[in-house]
């Protein structure tokens, strides 16, 4: 049919070197530049959920930063937990010890400090038996 309408021609701006290189490669592959551009446009418009490499790298870096911050927070929490556990352990150990009794024994020349076994911690004599 002589009056059959053609697909409209559109123009795209690009560097002459890029166009020439693409045309040369297309001819080497046995096609022309128009078919390559149309195939690319079809592929490009049919893609879904495909991100650019830069977007993927940015997302990875963001997630790494978040992961590092979470790891630091967990390490600080573990450190605080260990400090609190050590303080609780010290308190429970202190409660188990018998209180020391202090007093001055006559003639000893020192202030006796009686530990849990009621012996003087300075000279080892039991309470009330200082010479």
Distance of CA 32 to the CA centre of its chain: 51
pLDDT tens digits, one per residue of 71-101: 888 888 888 888 888 888 877 766 555 445 5
**Mean pLDDT on 119-128:** 68
- On the question of pLDDT at 1 being above 60, the answer is no
Quick check: 43 and 37 in contact, CB under 8 A?
A: no
Mean confidence (pLDDT) of the chain = 77
CA 102 – CA 90 distance, rounded (Å): 22
pLDDT tens digits, one per residue of 10-51: 888 989 999 999 999 999 999 999 899 998 888 878 776 666
Strands, E assignment, the chain: 101-104, 111-114
CA 105 – CA 59 distance, rounded (Å): 76
**pTM of the predicted structure, to 2 decimals:** 0.35
| Ramachandran quadrant class, 118 (left: phi over 0; alpha: psi -120 to 50; beta: rest) | left
């Amino acid at each position: 049919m002589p009056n059959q309408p053609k697909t409209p021609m559109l123009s795209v701006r690009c560097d002459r070197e890029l166009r020439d290189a693409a045309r040369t490669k297309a001819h080497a592959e046995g096609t022309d530049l128009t078919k390559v551009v149309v195939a690319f446009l079809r592929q490009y418009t049919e893609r879904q959920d495909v991100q650019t490499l830069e977007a993927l790298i940015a997302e990875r870096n963001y997630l790494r930063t978040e992961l590092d911050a979470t790891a630091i927070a967990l390490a600080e929490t573990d450190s605080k937990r260990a400090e609190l556990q050590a303080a609780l352990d010290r308190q429970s150990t202190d409660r188990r010890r018998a209180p020391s009794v202090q007093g001055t024994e006559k003639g000893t020349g020192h202030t006796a400090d009686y530990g849990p076994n009621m012996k003087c911690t300075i000279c080892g004599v039991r309470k009330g038996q200082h010479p």
